[in-house]
Amino acid sequence: QVQLVESGGGLVQAGGSLRLSCAASGRPFSGYAMGWFRQAPGKEREFVSAISWNVENTLYADSVKGRFTISRDNVKNTVDLQMNSLKPEDTAVYYCAAGIRNDLYEADYWGQGTQVTVSS
């Protein structure tokens, strides 16, 4: 069974940093684009960042560009999101995804999510 398990969420003050990690199991994900989405209360799910299967290409939402960095390890089947200079508007549940579609909204596999709360 395919599983994506996120870790690293928590409470941080504005300006602080967090590192999210996603561990994939159940099948090799080396051929999949992987990444992160987030959903704040009362808002739609939104794309945050993605990384191609060969690590050559990364994509970021404008709102996080320059502050967040995505990385992946195809041997360990992990994808990480380093989040710096966090803002209160980054508060959301963050979801790991694999097999992200071109619409940057749908994906083949989803994690359960990890809460990130940024206090002002």
Per residue in 64-116, pLDDT (tens digit) is 999 999 999 999 999 999 999 999 999 999 999 999 998 888 999 999 999 99
**CA proximity to 80, closest of 13, 35, 31, 43:** 35
Structure tokens, 81: 């999101």
Quote the pLDDT of residue 2: 78
How many whole angstroms separate alpha carbon 21 and alpha carbon 2? 17
Is residue 1 pLDDT above 80, yes or no?
no
Quote the pLDDT of residue 31: 84
Quote the pLDDT of residue 41: 92
- Taking only the tens place, the pLDDT of each residue in 24-70 is 998 778 788 999 999 999 999 999 999 999 999 999 999 999 999 99
How many whole angstroms separate alpha carbon 100 and alpha carbon 10? 25
Quote the pLDDT of residue 19: 98
Cβ atoms 24, 30 nearer than 8 A: no
> Got the DSSP string for 34-75?
EEEEEE-TTS--EEEEEE-TTSS-EEE-TTTTTTEEEEEETT
